Structures are given as C-alpha cells and as structure tokens.
C-alpha cells in the first residue's frame, strides 16, 4: 500500500514533522526486487511523492494490478504505463 521505495535521504524533510531529517530516514531492509517479487497488487490511496515515489513507479511491473481511488489517479497510472489499473469503491 502506497509504496515508497526511494533510498535513504532521497526526499526533503516533512515540514510538519518534528524532525528535519531527510526521508526516508532508513534504508529498505531488503532489496526492491525482493519487495516486488511476490506481491499480487498495489493499493495507491492517493498520489503524493511521500506515498508513492518515482522509484516505486519504476520498480513496480507495468502489468501489476493497481487499485486507485478515483479517475484522476487512474489516469496518472495509465500515463505512467500501467495497464491493469482499477478504481476501487470505498
């Protein structure tokens, strides 16, 4: 859900947080290949770089099932080359 897969420190600090450390503040515990290897689908609650980053867009297979909340996010994923995008009902 909302994969953020960028390397440690690849994003600026969150202005609303109590810390000025760059995000993510730690490296992933396993490789991105291992993370995406056995997943069946991705749920994208909405698009902000801190919920779904450019590394995730590149790492997730384009035929992966993607669930999004609305037409706007559906169009975003299709523009990014994903072919199996579905809007879920809340």
**Which uninterrupted H or E stretch holds 32?**
helix 32-37
Contacts of 51 (CB under 8 A, 6+ apart): 2, 4, 44, 45
Q: What pLDDT is recorded for position 90? A: 59
Residues of the chain with pLDDT under 50: none
Note whether 37 and 56 are within 8 A (CB).
no
Q: How far apart are CA 73 and CA 54, in angstroms?
A: 15
Q: How far apart are CA 8 and CA 78, in angstroms?
A: 28
Q: What pLDDT is recorded for position 86? A: 96
Q: What pLDDT is recorded for position 49? A: 67
């Amino acid at each position: 859900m909302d994969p953020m897969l960028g390397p440690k420190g690849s994003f600026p600090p969150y202005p609303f947080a109590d810390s000025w450390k760059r995000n993510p503040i730690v490296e992933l515990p396993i490789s991105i290949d291992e993370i995406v290897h056995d997943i069946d689908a991705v749920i994208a609650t909405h698009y902000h770089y801190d919920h779904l980053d450019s590394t995730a867009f590149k790492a997730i297979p384009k035929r992966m099932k993607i669930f999004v909340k609305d037409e706007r996010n559906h169009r975003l994923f299709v523009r990014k080359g994903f072919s199996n995008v579905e809007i879920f009902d809340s």
